[in-house]
Amino acid sequence: MESASNGHGHEHGHEHGHGGDHIHPPPSNFLTKYVFSTDHKVIAVQFFCMGFTMFLVGGLFALLLRWQIAYPFQPLPFGLGEVIYASAPGHTMPPESYPTLVTMHGTVMVFFVIIPLLTGAFGNYLIPLKIGARDMAFPLLNMLSYWVAVPAGVLIIMAFLSEAGGPGAGWTSYPPLSALPQASPGSGAGQTLWLLSIFCVGWSSIMGGINYLTTIINLRAPGMSLTRMPLSVWALFITSVLQVLATPVLAAASILLLFDKLLGTSFFLPAGINVGGQAIAQAGGGNPLLFQHLFWFYSHPAVYILVLPAMGLVSDIIPTFTRKPIFGYKAMAYSMAAIAGLGFIVWGHHMFQAGMNPYVATSFMVATMVIATPSSVKVFNWLGSLYGGSIRFTTPMLCCLAFVSMFIIGGLSGVFLAATPVDIFFHDTYYVVAHIHYVVFGGSVFGIFAGLYYWFPKVTGRKMSEFWGKVHFWLSFVSFNGVFFPMHILGIGGMMRRIADPTIYQHLAPLQSWNVYITMFAVVLGFSQFIVIANIAVSLLRGERVGENPWEATTLEWTTASPPPYYNYLQIPTVHHPPYEFSVPGMESDYIVQSAPPRSA
C-alpha cells in the first residue's frame, strides 16, 4: 500500500475546476439552490426524497396486493375500499387491478426506490465527499440525471392511472402479453407509458453512471489511491460500470417494444398468433424470447446494481462500529468486481424454463453457481470483521448486522434456483418471491436504512433518535422475516407468483393461513416505516446537534463540517491513510482519519 501514496488523478483535477482548489460561491437564487441545483449534495437529497416517497407508494401497492391474497375480493378494512376502489362495484379490488398493482409494485421498487436511493442519493452524496472532491466531474449532467428521473416518475404514475388500464404484464413485461392490448387491458396506453418511463429512468441511470466513473477516476484527492478508497466508493464505481454497460440494452429493448406497439413492427411477435381467435395482422418474424434475453441482459446486472452499493455502505459502517478495520479489504473489493463481471454472463438463469437449449442452460448454470462464491466470501469477511472487535450496537450497526444475516439467506435460496432441476419446480413460484425479497429488502433496504441512520448527522448536522431508530429497526426486522420467510413455504407448496386468488386452488387450501399471517406482518412492516419518517422529521428540527465526526469514523467526509459547506472542503485534503484505521496498536486514539498527518515510522 505504501507504493500508492502518491495521488495520481488529482493532478488532472485542477484544470476541470471542480476538483481544483478554487471555490465557487454558492448560488443565491432559490431556484438554482434547491430546485435546479448542480450541487451533488442537494441532488442527493432530491433523489432521496423522490426515492423515499416512491417507497411509500410501492409499499402501499404491496399492502393492497397482500390484502387481496389473504382475503381475495373482500372489501378492505375500515371502509378504505370506498376511498381506494371508489369507482369499482362493491368497492373491492377489480380483477384487472391485481396485475397492474403487481407490475407497479415491482417497477416502482426496482427503478424508483432502490436504484435512485442507492446510486442517486447515497452515490451522489458520498462519492465526492469520500474522495475529497468539491463536486461531481459533470455537475450539470448530474442535475440532468435527476431531472430526467422526475419525468420518468411522472410517467410511471400516469401509466398507473391510464384510463385504458395500467400496465399489467409484470415488471418483466414479456411480450406478446405486453405488446398486444387485445391480450391484456393494460397493454395499451398504460404499457406504452411504462416503456417511456423505463426509457427515461434508464437514461438517468446512464448519466449518473458516467458521472460517477469520471469523478472517481479523475477527482480523487492527492494520496487517495485506488487501494485507499473506502469500499463504498469501490462499490459505487463497480455499480456505475454495470449501469453504463447494461442499461443501454434495456433502453434498446424498450424502444423495440415501443415500435411493436406503436409502429406496427414485429420484433417480438411470431407469425400466426391469434388472440381470442382474432389474428394479429402485424405479427410475423419476431421472437418473444429475444425480449427476455435483452431484458435479463440488463436486469440481472441490475439486481447487482440494487445490492452492490448497499454492500459498500455496510462495509463502511461496520468498521466504525467494531472499531476495527474491515476484514480483507482487497478480497472485498475483488469479490465485488468478480460479482459484477460474472453478473454479465448469468442472465439466462431467469430463462431456464423458457425453452432454452439445455447446453446453453448449463453454461448459465455454471456461471450462476460460481457467482455464489464471491457472495459467500463477502459474508465471511463481514463475519471476520466482527471477530475481535468492540461492537457498538447503534441503529446503523444493527441494520448492517441484519443486512449480513438476511443476505446470506437470500444468497442460499439463490443457489436452489441456480440448480436447474430444482428450479424447474421453483421457477415462477413464491420461492422466487422470497428469494428476491431476502436479497433486496433484507439486503438493500436494510443497507439503505443503515446508511440513512449513519449519514443523517452528516447531511443535516443532527442525529436521528437512537431510541426510535431501534424501535423502527426491530419492528422492521421481525415483521420482515414474518412476511418473507413463510413465502419459502408457499413456494415449496407450489404457489405460483402473480396469481390474484390463491383460494381457487385446491392444493393451496392448507397454506392459506400462511397467507393471512403474512398479510398481518406486512401491515406491521408497512406501518413501521412511518416511524422512520417521523424520526426524520422530528430529528430535522430537534435532533441532537453533532460536530464533524459524531461516530468517530475515519473516512474523509467526517473531516468537514456537518452539514458540509457548498464547496465540501475549504482545502482539498491530502490522504495519508487507508480507509479503516481503527484501534491501531500503540496509538492513543482508537481511530485515524484518512487525512491525518502520516505516522512517522
Partner 1 sequence: MPQGLQLFPQQASTIAKHVDWLYFFLIAVTIFFATLVCVLVTFFMIRYRRGAKVDRSNPVNHSTTLELLWTGIPLVLAMVIFAWGAVLFYAIQTPGQGAMEIYVVGKQWMWKLQHPAGKKEINELHVPLGKRVRLTMTSEDVIHSFYVPAFRIKKDVLPGRYTTLWFEATKLGTFHLFCAEYCGLGHSRMIGRVVVMTPGDYEKWLSGGGNEEPLEVSGERLFQRLACATCHREDSKGRGPSLAGVFGTSVRLKSGASVVADESYIRESILEPQAKLTAGFDPVMPTFTGQLGEEGIIQLIAYIKSLARKPDSSAPPTPPTSH
Residues from 260 through 319 that contact Cu ion (CB under 5 A) = 300
Is 316 near ligand HEM (CB under 6 A)?
no
Binding test (CB under 6 A) with ligand HEM, winner from 172, 214, 265, 583: 172
Of 273, 417, 536, 556, the one binding ligand HEM by CB under 6 A: 417
CA-nearest of 453, 452, 441, 510 to 482 is 441
Choose the stretch contacting partner 1; rule: CB under 8 A; options: 28-36, 92-100, 253-261, 300-308. Answer: 92-100
Does residue 264 belong to the site contacting partner 1 (CB under 8 A)?
no
Which 149-168 residues touch partner 1, going by CB under 8 A?
168
Question: Based on the number of CB atoms within 10 Å of its own CB, is 41 exposed (0-12), middle (13-18) or buried (19 or more)?
Answer: buried
Is 432 near ligand HEM (CB under 6 A)?
yes
Among 513, 537, 542, 547, indicate the residue that binds partner 1 (CB under 8 A).
513
Residue among 108, 306, 522, 553 that touches ligand HEM (CB under 6 A): 306
Nearest-angstrom CA–CA distance, 102 and 283: 27
* DSSP, res 349: G
> Which CB atom, from 119 or from 535, has the smaller least distance to ligand HEM?
119
Dist. CA 443–CA 408, nearest whole Å = 9
**Per rule CB under 6 A, is residue 303 in the interface with ligand HEM?**
yes
Q: Measure the CA angle with vertex 200, ends 109 and 33; round to 5°.
A: 90
Residue 499's binding partner out of ligand HEM, Cu ion, partner 1, none, with CB under 5 to 8 Å set by partner kind: partner 1
Taking CB within 5 to 8 Å according to partner kind, which of partner 1, ligand HEM, Cu ion, none is near residue 306?
ligand HEM
**DSSP type of residue 545:** B
CA distance 575 to 223: 4
Task: Please say whether the beta carbons of 315 and 382 come within 8 A.
Answer: yes
Partner that binds at residue 341, options Cu ion, ligand HEM, partner 1, none, CB closer than 5 to 8 Å by kind:
none
Nearer to ligand HEM among residue 294 and residue 306 (C-beta): 306
CA distance 157 to 50: 13
Q: Measure the CA–CA gap between 464 and 460, rounded to whole angstroms.
A: 10
Site for Cu ion in 326-365 (CB under 5 A): none
| DSSP character string of 445-501 | IHHHHHHHHHHHHHHHSBPPPHHHHHHHHHHHHHHHHHHHHHHHHHHHTTPBTT-S-
| Contact predicate 283/272, CB 8 Å | yes
* Position among 50, 143, 434, 439 found at the interface with ligand HEM (CB under 6 A): 439
CB 434 within 8 A of CB 485: yes
Q: How far is the CB of 333 from ligand HEM (least distance, A)?
A: 17
Contact 475, 531 (CB under 8 A): yes
CB of 423 to partner 1, least distance (A): 9
Binding residues with ligand HEM: total (CB under 6 A): 25
435 binds Cu ion (CB under 5 A): no
Closer CB to Cu ion, 305 or 318, in the complex: 305
**Contact positions with ligand HEM (CB under 6 A) in 338-397:** 349-350, 368, 371-372, 375
Contact 518, 419 (CB under 8 A): no
| Strand-pair partners of 462 | 545
Q: Which residue is nearest to Cu ion (CB)?
A: 300
Nearer to ligand HEM (CB atom), residue 54 or residue 338: 338
CA-based nearest residue to 243, from 302, 165, 307: 302
> Which residues inside 166-195 make contact with partner 1, applying CB under 8 A?
168-170, 174, 176-177, 180, 183-185
Task: List C-alpha distances in Å: 459 to 39, 506, 554, 573.
Answer: 13, 54, 17, 19
Stretch that binds ligand HEM, among 263-271, 321-329, 412-420, 500-508 (CB under 6 A): 412-420
Nearer to partner 1, 89 or 585 (CB): 585
- Cβ neighbours of residue 110 under 8 Å, at least 6 residues apart? 171, 302, 306, 440
Residue (147 or 485) nearer to partner 1, CB:
485
Question: Which residues, other chains included, contact 205 with Cβ-Cβ below 8 Å and sequence gap of 6+?
Answer: 115, 119, 145, 243, 247, 305
Q: Which is nearer to ligand HEM, 333 or 572 (CB)?
A: 333
Q: For residue 208, which of 254, 164, 148 has the smallest C-alpha distance?
A: 148
Question: Rule CB under 8 A: which of 336-375 touch partner 1?
Answer: 353-358, 361-362, 365-366, 369-370, 372-373
Q: Give residues in contact with ligand HEM (CB under 6 A).
A: 172, 303, 306-307, 349-350, 368, 371-372, 375, 411, 414-415, 417-418, 423, 426-427, 432, 435-436, 439-440, 443-444
Q: Give residues in contact with Cu ion (CB under 5 A).
A: 300
